[in-house]
Amino acid sequence: MTETQATSSAGRAAGCPFAPAPELYAAQKLDELPRVTLPNPLLGDFDAVLVTRYDDVKSALANDQLRMGGSMPYQAGNLLSYDGADHTRLRRMLTGSFTTKRARELRPAIEGVVGSALDALAAAGPGADLVEVFCNPIPTLVICELLGVPYGDREDFQRRTKVALDFSVSREVQMEKAAEMEAYMAGLVARHREHPGENVLGRVVREYGDQLTDSELAGIGNMLLIAGHETIASTLSASIALLLQHPDQLAVVRDDPSATDGAVEELLRYTAPAAVLPRQAAGTMCVRDQEIKEGERVVASVLAANRDPSATGQDEEQGQGSGQDLDRLDVRRPPHRHLTFGFGPHQCLGQQLARMELRVALPALFTRFPTLKSAVPHDELDYRTNALVFGVNTLPVTW
Ligand code: HEM
């Protein structure tokens, strides 16, 4: 097996953080899947089989021998802590709350949240940090809707979320704030046990409350907060930063509502915020006829897979392998089945909601602020490349 060392945990190219590192393109061309040593903010350095081709990533993530294993710290109620039948059972309780129809029903609430973030931006400017005023508040307030956080608690909830998810503070402070958040969730669960609301937590309590413990219900709340906050905030910040560097593409998002859905898919494909998905083999298995032994770790690179020109199974009009230049951002690209939301049993539960948030937020921002521009040179932007989720730490803009 080929031995190689990847440059960063997510394998992003130095100097061009949207692109995969050259090692990932090289790995795609190898006959064998290489073994790499990867740094990981949760696991420390670890050895893993690196999977980079589109078809291989799909086949690996769909293989039931590949488990989350110890890839994430265990938390009751968090789907990413479960595998197999336990995972299926818990996931089934939640899927009804995350359908396309449900995302459509949430659209007016999302428009309200985006509208108030835009008002706050107008009041803060002409000049502000978009991450602080726009990208962070939107997902937090949408999660408040999902969990039924009362309006009176929302400011406090936003403040707690910000600290609990701020990975730049010490581990101790983070744990302390996470514990405060868990206590808040426990209170919210108790309220829903008594009066189940018309939201995700209320629905789960009504339909499955007798099958779930309070700590599992609180864990579901925490999972939605963690899975639905950083991912959206980061996709928004990365997409806006990218569009500000491509004014022709930005103009399409701003001026052509019929292009919105496709543009959001292209931005998801290109930014791939959760760039690597770690797994562990529960038994001996194969990816592309190559044996992976029980206990071995595997890392699937979504970032590389999304740009793999040899991808099969794309839409008819693209043909096998599409032959398109997948390194280019093209918001009018014909549909491409990117893997940004993962694949297989753990595929993102919130993907329709995520799409809806992006479809509402991005055109609304550029329509309300048509002269929006970066307040710093593009090459001085503070990208977050080594965290689990890629984004921009601060995004100073003017208009
Ligand atoms: C653009 C935004 C988002 C991206 C890029 C994203 C990406 C992902 C990915 C890649 C996975 C699979 C992880 C793995 O296989 O290891 C995942 C799982 C998950 N996501 Fe998302 N996500 C986003 C937004 C959301 C939102 C808004 C929610 C809900 C509020 C959410 C809830 C979840 C949950 C619950 C899981 C675990 C599913 C399971 O294990 O069965 N995500 N997400």
Q: DSSP letter for 389, please.
A: S
Average pLDDT over residues 287-312: 93
pLDDT band at 323 (very low <50, low <70, confident <90, very high): low
- Answer whether 292's CB lies under 8 Å from 1's CB: no
d(CA 247, CA 373): 10
Nearest CA to ligand 1 atom 1: 232
Higher pLDDT, 325 or 164: 325
Average pLDDT over residues 30-54: 86
pLDDT of residue 373: 96
Mean pLDDT of the chain: 89
Torsion of CA 29, 32, 37, 43, to 10 degrees: 100
Cα of 375 from ligand 1 centre, angstroms: 31
Higher pLDDT, 319 or 55: 55
Query: Roughly how many angstroms between the first and final C-alpha of the chain, as a whole number?
Result: 53
d(CA 367, CA 85): 46
pLDDT of residue 188: 93
Cα of 224 from ligand 1 centre, angstroms: 9
Average pLDDT over residues 294-323: 77
Q: Ligand 1 within 6 A of 94 CB?
A: no
* Per-residue pLDDT reduced to its tens digit, 55-80: 999 999 999 999 987 666 678 999 99
pLDDT of residue 6: 47
pLDDT of residue 321: 43
Cα of 7 from ligand 1 centre, angstroms: 25
In testing the pocket of ligand 1, which one of 141, 339, 343, 348 has its CB within 8 Å of the most ligand atoms? 348
| Model pTM score | 0.94
Strands (E), the chain: 3-5, 12-13, 16-20, 35-38, 46-51, 66-67, 128-129, 276-281, 285-287, 290-292, 297-301, 373-374, 382-384, 391-394, 396-398
At 286, give phi and psi (nearest 5°): -130, 145
* Per-residue pLDDT reduced to its tens digit, 247-280: 999 999 999 999 999 999 999 999 999 999 999 9
Pick one of 1.10.8.60, 3.40.190.10, 1.10.630.10, 3.40.350.10 as the CATH number of 3-398.
Answer: 1.10.630.10
305-to-17, 19, 25, 142, 148 alpha-carbon distances in Å: 16, 12, 10, 30, 37
Q: Which token pair is 14? A: 């130095």
Pairing relation of β-strands 276-281 and 297-301?
antiparallel
pLDDT of residue 164: 64
Pairing relation of β-strands 3-5 and 35-38?
parallel
pLDDT at 219 over 80: yes
Nearest CA to ligand 1 atom 30: 228
Mean pLDDT lowest among 10-24, 98-112, 185-199, 329-343: 10-24
